[in-house]
Amino acid sequence: MIQNPIRPTLSLDAPGKRHGHLKLPYSRNDSAWGAVMIPITVIVGKPGPTALLTGANHGDEYEGPIALQALAHEIEPEDVTGRLIIVPYMNTPAFRAGTRVSPLDQVNLNRAFPGAPGGSVTQKIAHYFNDTLVPMADLVVDFHSGGKTLDFVPFACAHYLDDATQQAACVAAVTAFNAPYTLMLREIDAVGMYDTAVEEQGKTFVTTELGGGGTATARSAGIAHKGIRNVLKHAGILPGAPEIAPTVMLDMPDDDCYHTAPEAGLIEPMADLGETVTQGQPLARIWPLDRSGAAPAVVHAQRDGVVVARHFPGLVQLGDTLAVLAVEAG
Amino acid sequence: MIQNPIRPTLSLDAPGKRHGHLKLPYSRNDSAWGAVMIPITVIVGKPGPTALLTGANHGDEYEGPIALQALAHEIEPEDVTGRLIIVPYMNTPAFRAGTRVSPLDQVNLNRAFPGAPGGSVTQKIAHYFNDTLVPMADLVVDFHSGGKTLDFVPFACAHYLDDATQQAACVAAVTAFNAPYTLMLREIDAVGMYDTAVEEQGKTFVTTELGGGGTATARSAGIAHKGIRNVLKHAGILPGAPEIAPTVMLDMPDDDCYHTAPEAGLIEPMADLGETVTQGQPLARIWPLDRSGAAPAVVHAQRDGVVVARHFPGLVQLGDTLAVLAVEAG
Amino acid sequence: MIQNPIRPTLSLDAPGKRHGHLKLPYSRNDSAWGAVMIPITVIVGKPGPTALLTGANHGDEYEGPIALQALAHEIEPEDVTGRLIIVPYMNTPAFRAGTRVSPLDQVNLNRAFPGAPGGSVTQKIAHYFNDTLVPMADLVVDFHSGGKTLDFVPFACAHYLDDATQQAACVAAVTAFNAPYTLMLREIDAVGMYDTAVEEQGKTFVTTELGGGGTATARSAGIAHKGIRNVLKHAGILPGAPEIAPTVMLDMPDDDCYHTAPEAGLIEPMADLGETVTQGQPLARIWPLDRSGAAPAVVHAQRDGVVVARHFPGLVQLGDTLAVLAVEAG
Amino acid sequence: MIQNPIRPTLSLDAPGKRHGHLKLPYSRNDSAWGAVMIPITVIVGKPGPTALLTGANHGDEYEGPIALQALAHEIEPEDVTGRLIIVPYMNTPAFRAGTRVSPLDQVNLNRAFPGAPGGSVTQKIAHYFNDTLVPMADLVVDFHSGGKTLDFVPFACAHYLDDATQQAACVAAVTAFNAPYTLMLREIDAVGMYDTAVEEQGKTFVTTELGGGGTATARSAGIAHKGIRNVLKHAGILPGAPEIAPTVMLDMPDDDCYHTAPEAGLIEPMADLGETVTQGQPLARIWPLDRSGAAPAVVHAQRDGVVVARHFPGLVQLGDTLAVLAVEAG
Amino acid sequence: MIQNPIRPTLSLDAPGKRHGHLKLPYSRNDSAWGAVMIPITVIVGKPGPTALLTGANHGDEYEGPIALQALAHEIEPEDVTGRLIIVPYMNTPAFRAGTRVSPLDQVNLNRAFPGAPGGSVTQKIAHYFNDTLVPMADLVVDFHSGGKTLDFVPFACAHYLDDATQQAACVAAVTAFNAPYTLMLREIDAVGMYDTAVEEQGKTFVTTELGGGGTATARSAGIAHKGIRNVLKHAGILPGAPEIAPTVMLDMPDDDCYHTAPEAGLIEPMADLGETVTQGQPLARIWPLDRSGAAPAVVHAQRDGVVVARHFPGLVQLGDTLAVLAVEAG
Amino acid sequence: MIQNPIRPTLSLDAPGKRHGHLKLPYSRNDSAWGAVMIPITVIVGKPGPTALLTGANHGDEYEGPIALQALAHEIEPEDVTGRLIIVPYMNTPAFRAGTRVSPLDQVNLNRAFPGAPGGSVTQKIAHYFNDTLVPMADLVVDFHSGGKTLDFVPFACAHYLDDATQQAACVAAVTAFNAPYTLMLREIDAVGMYDTAVEEQGKTFVTTELGGGGTATARSAGIAHKGIRNVLKHAGILPGAPEIAPTVMLDMPDDDCYHTAPEAGLIEPMADLGETVTQGQPLARIWPLDRSGAAPAVVHAQRDGVVVARHFPGLVQLGDTLAVLAVEAG
């Protein structure tokens, strides 16, 4: 029976506020007795529920890390009814490298669950969350954005679940997050996702996509700041009531929402995020890379909808997802 | 006397419209008799002035390549009074790689002028433009955007020049471009720039910064489409009058406009592009990369102004330019 | 139960001729929602058997891709009795990179069978062929050549199998291929090979080695063109009779056929492909890399035979296979 | 005045036979006081002319290194009238890496002449040959082949020179080499070539292209063995008369001899080296890399001629030289 | 049932002395039919026990390879009662690269046991030792040093084992090694270690740490030379009695022995290897990398002890083991 | 006339103590408006001479950076008569990377003088020191150690100079440094060295080699701490008299002091640093990398002397300097 070698350098239980690391020994060519050090803050207040809050599951997504660093810095134990376990840079190696997947093993943390205690670095991180931290939690919030290669309209998201009570709890928390857009999603390929691992343990789960391109703005960071505090207020962990503004409810009814690049080339977007398009309208033109003056490939909307996601870099490969449409839910 | 080995595969002079390449022989490990092939379109109509139009001087800037591919595809000789020489991907190797500088020699094309006929690939490209193409032109438009690491409010730009007549011609062309913002600039470190090389040959010169982040949007591409046609109309090369909307005139009066990162870390922007800030207002917070819960470094505005440029990626190094302010010109 | 995520973008069954891709979603740092796109052509004619035809199992072998691209381009449904499933670039990532193994996971596709639906990119490709495409086929032809580091006399090959009927079918098809050389082989280390996976499903299987060095010639491409049409005629899928010329039957009776480099160095071949040598005759000299004038190591033929394979690059490492002999079969 | 730091570890003048190195101090991250060590053999016999013999000017060309290692091993001072200076691996760093250009500075040695004593490693090597070894020589033979990316019919070559006497001496030596093909060439872009540097010093110069693909065969090595001994016999340095067989005289009369790839893709050659083609005949087809079933680009012969060179790897880039024709000289 | 493909090129049993290789076929991009060749010497004398002796389990540790090369060169069969199986470079690919872990698969050989016959190169090596060589042995000696990133006082080491008889045999052999320091150790994380694999087979096992920094000295090599001969004399395989000098017995009683870097930076050691320190005494200062003049972090001894190990490179990462203390055993 | 773009972020003249950076704008793919930031501390006290103190001229040498960081932290203006300009990490990019030469341009800073204001990053740094900082100084101390690939007995060093007065000043300062060893040196290849650039400006110059291997010890750091304070006391900049202990005076009389590796292999040192050897005594054995049991190459001392430098890594290349001897000066 292999034990997960990750050890926290602080108490996860004692009252008060502490900053430390999850220490994962990592022997490598440039440090035989080195370690991966994942920053963690624990704030324990009055008795109450536990919230596990994570950013940088993918290393190039920034709204979560910003909001969680601010929370870890600003919240005091006396503000808390319950416990906050805050891990702003869940996949620290990827976050330090500014990449989606870990530079240490090329593994996508969000497809590595439930993880393996004797596996690669990313598999060990997944296993530690799955077996140690998630079981401690009542509520789990995992921040995502589009990263360097995707851009999204800002939304919080809940999944369709088999357990109606759990789904209702998730929807309530996501609604409390109150991003400008709110989405109900049925993941097609949920194997290995942190979302799935958390939901299968029966926890209330909130996830987001708050922007993208490998950057954050004052506006997108503001959505994250407000959203996480709203969720914690909703859960009774922070005092006060959530601040609620209007949100647009979205749904992705079918595969026609997804538009794929039919050729490699230079993308000229013809509709921007948040724009409403009708079936047949050009979404983008793709210009060739090796010559000038030739006709572009044109990608037309396969259905009516709102542009909610797009390929971010200026160049695209054949087969990349170019744009995603959603429809406003009834 | 070394000759520049670049040869066009088409006539630069004959009437009509042609697409071809600037062919630069390039012997390398994976093709001993290989070449760098830079796409070029030439459109020669009725007698008139020559416009030399370039994109991707830096390889990760996309509005120019989009607008110039569209122009090369859509304009016909009968539309033209004079000649269009269109090079959408001036630094083709960098454009193909999606990088600012050339992957072949790590040289920044916009600091390589006047170039060298026996130098590296980028130096040969610079020399060919400097000695062959620019001398053919009356008007030169070079598109820039922020690339993967900077983001700008969209502006067209002219330089303060010693020759008042030339400066007036440039200002008139830049004004005709009619981007949402218009900037007068005195380059501090102009050595090696294409701008300088063109201006020193007495040409009318327009440059731009139309967005950034290594992407384009329908909106930013639209600014480029309109701008280039406006400039060509202004020059009498395309028929009709420029379409003019209001623009904000900007100036950068002093070094206090530039804000530098005092530490490496995670950037939380506190003011977005286009926002007006006052001296002392926080522009950004920088959170540490190796721990949670610590206080961030806060960067305050050194003067009043509008945020016109910012560091784009979510992480920043000590010494990187974090944000730039400008003021509205009288 | 993990599902293989590969999906064809076309029907594998409908009558007619279609070109599309096998789409394998592949999330990576430079495209979070990207894909590996493997070109595929399906031609369905009158009812009859199915042939599955593959090239570039190893990415640096070119005769198969050439012959299959020509076939996909030239054959029409009315020519076909049965179905052709043509995948010219089976290991597309390796083919695009010009490498034997995939640049995405460093896995050798031809040692990855039966594959894994939740494994790495190459393991998913192996699994999709093993579980989806091979079961559809009656006849499987997989083209190989020597790649960048080996060179072969051109031969088609069948394996000794436990099932005499299956072996006879394979031998008949290989004989119909009618390469200049024909080989019967007992693979020593057959674990993980596509050959083994296909044969274990009871299919008629043809494989080849048609040259090497990471190139093709008009001659070697011609052998592939004729061979694949011959096999399809033999199977009754294409009309007409195979064109048959003389072939040399070969056998590799023992381990002495294999000659290994006893030192690293510069190879001077002393017998060329197709040459008959006698035991003790020098096959090659190996000159040292760090000095001149010293005596070379000489590698002598361990037995009589014909040189049928050789290490291609000019430099060799200790332990590399330097040359292989075969004998003409009775 | 900077001195070239290269020093031979043996005497270049004393009678007898010695093996050593040209030692070039080279400080680098993995050896602060390291060196590049270029093997050299000097054989001094009875008084007579000096021949400077070099291989691996490009590091992936093998016939020269093989023939020169054999010569250095087999020739004794009593066989020699004059002096042999043998450098089998002129660009040792590239030869060890198996690459055309040096891995230390990415410089092509054959475009680095006359070199620079304070330059990069390759520039220092060029300068040492230019200023120290070439002046010692009466006769210079520099072996080339196609390397990993080109393949040639085997020829020896002389250049058209302004000095008729020197040209006649070169032609006589090239004729004595007696390769299967013999070529007269006027280099278009001779700047920086070793050939030019040697010829400008008034020396008799022989160069070759003896095959390619980054390999050698018994046949191509045999041409090199015979050729170098023939030249040395012709010069009176080795005893006896050259062995002469028929050779085909070739000429490249115009630019139409050179055929360039109009697209990137998979090459299907339709005529092999040494084949005679007529204008309009297809030389090659280029199949697309991203899809199957589409029509290939076809490259037709621009004139009548013999195929004397071709792009070797199976894939090609837009602009690469695909094939070269020559005509038999009167 | 997958078979391990490693084959020795020599007999492991026949009387006499032989040098050869363990040949592991390894197909890769630069040699499709290549191999990893691990040098091995077998010396079989009069009947007696078998000793299996290994160096370079980690590729950047040099005392073992030196002592074992000398042994393989100097010992003759008539000196031996029993059998010596000497593998100086156990992890040959890492040894050739000068790295701790294998460059072929990034696997740490000393965490890869019991290995896998169908796994990566390193896993195959582990499996071959575990299943083939270790079962042949009575006594196993595996040399370690600190490698490029750690430095140790020179010690031999035995583990606390459940089997008291086996432990006593190990302690006796370690005592016979007679390094300047001798350590009893209880491995915390023994999963995958060669040590564990050997001990679980009931063998007598000796391991060492004889220096570090990626170098050896005459002194440290001398300790290895003497130690291995002493152990073989103790086992009766070599004649004569061990040479015994005083040794310091060490123990690591608790986790406070390990000192971790609290920040990344430049290390200033304040106590050297072998020095005795008292609790609270500064062990090292860590200076910041991005500025001058700031106060360093100071790491104080957590307990009294002798400095027995330290981080070797001048720079350190947060979480690296900085220094280890031990205490003299009663 | 190109201006050097480096600007200090602090005053170099004003009284008091300041910490800042030398800011060198550096546009690169991952930060278009980035910078290289070289830490600098300036301490201005009572009127007096200026000392310019530098470490990490080579980025993998640590005693200088340690001593200078301590000095910058501990010295106050009231301790100083004159001015201290302290640059602990002269080649900051190399220091951050832990490499001898800069990772940005692969240039060796200590061969880049007098530098170039429009050159690469390292050339700009050299030029700024040469043209701006050195002219301000009376006394220059530049710390060196062996780096990752060399190890030295600790010495301070002066050069033989044409100006006897200047040489006497240098010798006096070097003597005041009072390292365990003191060396007089005549650089053979002084072109491009900082030493030469400083001495040619007539300054008093001290350099050192204080250890090596890419690490520091408490002992070697202590030599640096004492030495720099001694030199500053000697110069009257710090109060008090130098602390003087015995030193060994060394000289390197001829080229026989340098011993070169005759083969690549595994080094077994047979004499350690500081040991006295006699001509013919073995200094090292070199064991082959590809086989076991063969005889090693033995390198014998070419003359009597003390081992003062050695190749540090366990593996060596042909031509690397293996060991250097010096003799005690009369």
Q: pLDDT (tens digit, 9 = 90+) per residue, A74-103?
A: 999 999 999 999 999 999 999 999 999 999
Q: Domain spanning F255-328 has what CATH number? A: 2.40.50.100
CB E53 within 8 A of CB E141: yes
Query: Per-residue pLDDT averaged across D78-82, rounded?
Result: 97
Q: How far apart are CA B271 and CA B252, in angstroms?
A: 18
What pLDDT shows up at residue F330?
66
Query: Per-residue pLDDT averaged across A42-60, rounded?
Result: 98
Model confidence band, residue A55 (pLDDT cutoffs 50, 70, 90): very high
**Touching check for F184 and chain C: CB below 8 Å?**
no
Contacting residues of F for E17, CB less than 8 Å apart: 293
Query: Per-residue pLDDT averaged across E10-24, rounded?
Result: 98
What pLDDT shows up at residue A191?
85
Share the mean pLDDT of chain B. Answer: 96
- Cβ pairs bridging C and F (under 8 Å): 6
Long-range Cβ pairs for the range E298-305 (8 Å, 24+): E299/E259, E299/E261, E299/E262, E299/E323, E301/E259, E301/E271, E301/E277, E301/E325, E302/E256, E302/E257, E302/E259, E303/E254, E303/E256, E303/E257, E303/E279, E304/E276, E304/E277, E304/E278, E304/E279, E305/E257, E305/E276, E305/E277
What pLDDT shows up at residue B191?
85
**Touching check for C123 and chain E: CB below 8 Å?**
no
Q: Domain spanning D7-250 has what CATH number? A: 3.40.630.10
What pLDDT shows up at residue C187?
75
- For residue E189, how many other CB atoms are within 10 A of its CB? 11
CB F42 within 8 A of CB F133: no
Contact A31 E320 (CB under 8 A): yes
Query: Per-residue pLDDT averaged across E198-203, rounded?
Result: 97
Q: Is the pTM of this model over 0.90?
A: yes
Contacting residues of A for C34, CB less than 8 Å apart: 149, 317, 319-321
Contact A28 E100 (CB under 8 A): yes
Touching partners of D (3+ C-beta pairs < 8 Å): A, B, C, F
CB F95 within 8 A of CB F108: no
Beta-carbon contacts of residue C154 (< 8 Å; ≥ 6 apart): C179, C180, C181, C208, C209, C210, C211, C220, C223
Model confidence band, residue C186 (pLDDT cutoffs 50, 70, 90): confident
What pLDDT shows up at residue E2?
86
Beta-carbon contacts of residue B300 (< 8 Å; ≥ 6 apart): B279, B280, B281, B282, B283
Backbone phi, psi, residue B309, to 5°: -150, 155
Query: Per-residue pLDDT averaged across B153-175, rounded?
Result: 97
ipTM of the complex: 0.97
Q: How many CA atoms lie within 13 A of E32 on its CB side?
A: 28
Share the mean pLDDT of chain A. Answer: 96
What pLDDT shows up at residue B2?
86
What is the distance of C-alpha F62 from the center of its chain? 10
In terms of average pLDDT, the best of A12-21, A188-197, B251-260 is A12-21
**Touching check for C308 and chain E: CB below 8 Å?**
no
What pLDDT shows up at residue A189?
72
Q: How far apart are CA C142 and CA C195, in angstroms?
A: 8
Q: How many CA atoms lie within 13 A of E200 on its CB side?
A: 12
Select from C263, C264, C290 the Cβ nearest to the Cβ of F318.
Answer: C290
**Touching check for C168 and chain F: CB below 8 Å?**
no
Contacting residues of D for F120, CB less than 8 Å apart: none
Q: How far apart are CA E36 and CA C250, in angstroms?
A: 29
**Touching check for A290 and chain D: CB below 8 Å?**
yes
**Touching check for A148 and chain C: CB below 8 Å?**
yes
Backbone phi, psi, residue C172, to 5°: -60, -40
Share the mean pLDDT of chain C. Answer: 96
Contacting residues of A for B73, CB less than 8 Å apart: 293-296
**Touching check for B148 and chain F: CB below 8 Å?**
yes
What pLDDT shows up at residue D330?
65
What pLDDT shows up at residue E330?
66
Check pLDDT > 80 for residue E309. yes
Contact C317 E31 (CB under 8 A): yes
Beta-carbon contacts of residue C54 (< 8 Å; ≥ 6 apart): C64, C68, C87, C88, C90, C129, C140, C141, C142, C143, C194
Query: Per-residue pLDDT averaged across B77-106, rounded?
Result: 97
Contacting residues of E for B264, CB less than 8 Å apart: 290
Domain residue ranges of chain F, discontinuous segments joined by +: 7-250, 255-328
What pLDDT shows up at residue B330?
66
Q: How far apart are CA F239 and CA F229, in angstroms?
A: 9
Residues of chain F with pLDDT under 70: 330
Q: How far apart are CA F195 and CA F204, in angstroms?
A: 10
Contact F35 B260 (CB under 8 A): yes
**Touching check for C318 and chain E: CB below 8 Å?**
yes
Contacting residues of B for A213, CB less than 8 Å apart: 213-215, 312
Check pLDDT > 70 for residue A330. no
What pLDDT shows up at residue A295?
97
Contact A32 E99 (CB under 8 A): no
Contact B27 D111 (CB under 8 A): yes
Contacting residues of A for B68, CB less than 8 Å apart: 292
Model confidence band, residue E191 (pLDDT cutoffs 50, 70, 90): confident
Query: Per-residue pLDDT averaged across B304-314, rounded?
Result: 98
What pLDDT shows up at residue E300?
98
Q: Domain spanning D252-328 has what CATH number? A: 2.40.50.100
What pLDDT shows up at residue F76?
98
**Touching check for F266 and chain B: CB below 8 Å?**
no
Chain B, 76 to 115: residues with Cβ < 8 Å from chain F are 99-101, 108, 111
Contact D33 F111 (CB under 8 A): no
Touching partners of B (3+ C-beta pairs < 8 Å): A, D, E, F
Query: Per-residue pLDDT averaged across A30-51, rounded?
Result: 97
Q: What is the DSSP letter of A306?
A: E
Return the axis-axis angle of helices F164-177 and F218-234, rounded to nearest 10°: 130
Check pLDDT > 80 for residue A221. yes
The proportion of chain C whose per-residue pLDDT surpasses 70, expressed as a percent, equals 99
**Three-state SS at E248:** strand
Contacting residues of B for D318, CB less than 8 Å apart: 21, 37
The proportion of chain F whose per-residue pLDDT surpasses 70, expressed as a percent, equals 99
Contact D317 B31 (CB under 8 A): yes
Q: Which two tokens stand for residue E7?
A: 């084959």
**Touching check for F264 and chain C: CB below 8 Å?**
yes
Strand partners, A43: A17, A84
**Touching check for B319 and chain D: CB below 8 Å?**
no
Residue appearing with tokens 């218009």: B182
Query: Per-residue pLDDT averaged across C210-239, rounded?
Result: 98
